[in-house]
C-alpha cells in the first residue's frame, strides 16, 4: 500500500517536498515507515531517530500500526525546551535500559561516588541509614574487595553483600548511576503521598521501560525526552522522565599515602 507522509520544517526542507509517497508492505508499522523513509530519502536518515512520527494526529511509537487510510506525518522536535541542556549522548550501540530486574534505592547510590563504584565493581543497592547493601563481582577475593572498599570510603556501617556475574554487574553499575535521578513527573501522590517517585526503586517488570508503583499499582513508563513524556502524559499515562544525576559527581580518589614517609 502507499501512504502519504506529511513533512514539516527542516524535514520538508531536506526532502524538498511537503508530502512524500511511501510504499509499505501490509501489515505496516511506524518502524517500517521509518525504515522506508530512511531508504527513500537519505538526507533525512541522520535526523530520523530524533523525530517523532504521528499517526492520525497522535504521537506514535514504533509498534503502532499504519493502515491504508492512516494520516502519517514526520514531526521534528518542536521549539520548546530550547533552553534545556542537551540530552547526554550515549553510544547508539548500547541499549539504554538494562536494569530490568533490579530494584535500587537512590540513597545508596548517593552514598557511594560513581568512580568508587566503578573502580571496585560494586553496585550499591540499598542504604537504610545504617546498613549498606551492595552487589559485587563474583570471585574468591570478594570479601577482600569489600574490605578495601570499606577502607577507601571509611565506612563503618555494616555492609551486606551479594556476589553476581562481573559482566552484567559492570553494565548495571553504569546504568544505575545514569538513571539515579530519574523520577516520576506526573504522580498525583508525589506531594506527601506514600508512592515512591524514583524510577530505580519502582517494581521492575519484564519490559525494561515499564515499572510499577508497588503502593498504588500504577504502571510507569520510562521516557528519555520531555516530548515523549508529554505525549504519554496527555494520554493519561504515568511517566518517569530521565534526569541526569547531578549529585553524583566523579570524586577523585587520592593517591595512597606512603606511611613510611
Partner 1 sequence: MISIISTPIDATETLRLVQSTRAGAVCLFLGTVREFTGELVTTYLEYEAYPLMAERKLAELEAQARARWPIIELAIVHRVGRLELGDVAVAVAVSTPHRAEAFAACQWIMDTLKEVVPIWKKERWANGQEEWIHPGLGLASPQ
Where do contacts with partner 1 occur on this chain (CB under 8 A)? 6, 8-10, 13-14, 46-47, 50-51, 54, 57-59, 71, 73, 75-82, 84, 86-87, 225-227, 230-231, 233-234
Q: To the nearest whole angstrom, how small is the minimum distance from the Cβ of residue 45 to partner 1?
A: 11
Dist CA 102 CA 130 (whole Å)? 21
Residue 168 three-state SS: helix
- Looking at beta carbons only, is 50 or 251 nearer to partner 1? 50
DSSP structural state of residue 67: -
Q: To the nearest whole angstrom, how small is the minimum distance from the Cβ of residue 227 to partner 1?
A: 6
48, three cell numbers: 530520523
142, three cell numbers: 570478594
Q: To the nearest whole angstrom, how small is the minimum distance from the Cβ of residue 44 to partner 1?
A: 11
- Max Cα–Cα distance, the chain, nearest Å: 81
- Looking at beta carbons only, is 117 or 239 nearer to partner 1? 239
Integer angstrom CA distances of residue 174 from 56, 81, 94: 38, 27, 11
DSSP 174-241: HHHHHTTT-EESS-TTTTT-S---BGGGSEE-SSTTEEE-TTT--EEEEESSHHHHHHHHHTT-EEEE
Q: To the nearest whole angstrom, how small is the minimum distance from the Cβ of residue 172 to partner 1?
A: 27
- Looking at beta carbons only, is 186 or 205 nearer to partner 1? 186
- Looking at beta carbons only, is 79 or 93 nearer to partner 1? 79
Please state whether the peptide bond connecting residue 27 to the residue before it is cis, i.e. omega within 30 degrees of 0. yes
Q: To the nearest whole angstrom, how small is the minimum distance from the Cβ of residue 71 to partner 1?
A: 8
Distance in Å from the first CA to the final CA of the chain: 80
Q: To the nearest whole angstrom, how small is the minimum distance from the Cβ of residue 11 to partner 1?
A: 9
- Looking at beta carbons only, is 84 or 246 nearer to partner 1? 84
- Looking at beta carbons only, is 80 or 139 nearer to partner 1? 80
Compute the C-alpha angle 77/82/86, nearest 5°: 80
- Looking at beta carbons only, is 88 or 158 nearer to partner 1? 88
DSSP structural state of residue 256: P
Q: To the nearest whole angstrom, how small is the minimum distance from the Cβ of residue 235 to partner 1?
A: 9
CA neighbor of 74 nearest in space, from 52, 89, 90, 47:
52
Amino acid at each position: 500500500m502507499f501512504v502519504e507522509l506529511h513533512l514539516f520544517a527542516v524535514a520538508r526542507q531536506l526532502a524538498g517536498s511537503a508530502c512524500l509517497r511511501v510504499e509499505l508492505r501490509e501489515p505496516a508499522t511506524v518502524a517500517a515507515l521509518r525504515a522506508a523513509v530512511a531508504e527513500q530519502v537519505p538526507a533525512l536518515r541522520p535526523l530520523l531517530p530524533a523525530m517523532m512520527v504521528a499517526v492520525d494526529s497522535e504521537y506514535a511509537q514504533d509498534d503502532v500500526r499504519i493502515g491504508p487510510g492512516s494520516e502519517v506525518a514526520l514531526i521534528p522536535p518542536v521549539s520548546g525546551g530550547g533552553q534545556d541542556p542537551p540530552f547526554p549522548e550515549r553510544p547508539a550501540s548500547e541499549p539504554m535500559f538494562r536494569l530490568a530486574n533490579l530494584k535500587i534505592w537512590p540513597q545508596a547510590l548517593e552514598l557511594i561516588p560513581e568512580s568508587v563504584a566503578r573502580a571496585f565493581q560494586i553496585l550499591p543497592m540499598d542504604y537504610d541509614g545504617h546498613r549498606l547493601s551492595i552487589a559485587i563481582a563474583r570471585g574468591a577475593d570478594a570479601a577482600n574487595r569489600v574490605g578495601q572498599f570499606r577502607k577507601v570510603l571509611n565506612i563503618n556501617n555494616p555492609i551486606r553483600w551479594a556476589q553476581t556475574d562481573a559482566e552484567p554487574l559492570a553494565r548495571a553499575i553504569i546504568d544505575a548511576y545514569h538513571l539515579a535521578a530519574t523520577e516520576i513527573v506526573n504522580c498525583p501522590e508525589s506531594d506527601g503521598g506514600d508512592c515512591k517517585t524514583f524510577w530505580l526503586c519502582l517494581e521492575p517488570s519484564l519490559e525494561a521501560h515499564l515499572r510499577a508503583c508497588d503502593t498504588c499499582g500504577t504502571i510507569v513508563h520510562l521516557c528519555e525526552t520531555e516530548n515523549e513524556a508529554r505525549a504519554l502524559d496527555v494520554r493519561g499515562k504515568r511517566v518517569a522522565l530521565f534526569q541526569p544525576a547531578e549529585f553524583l559527581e566523579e570524586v577523585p580518589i587520592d593517591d595512597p599515602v606512603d606511611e613510611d614517609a
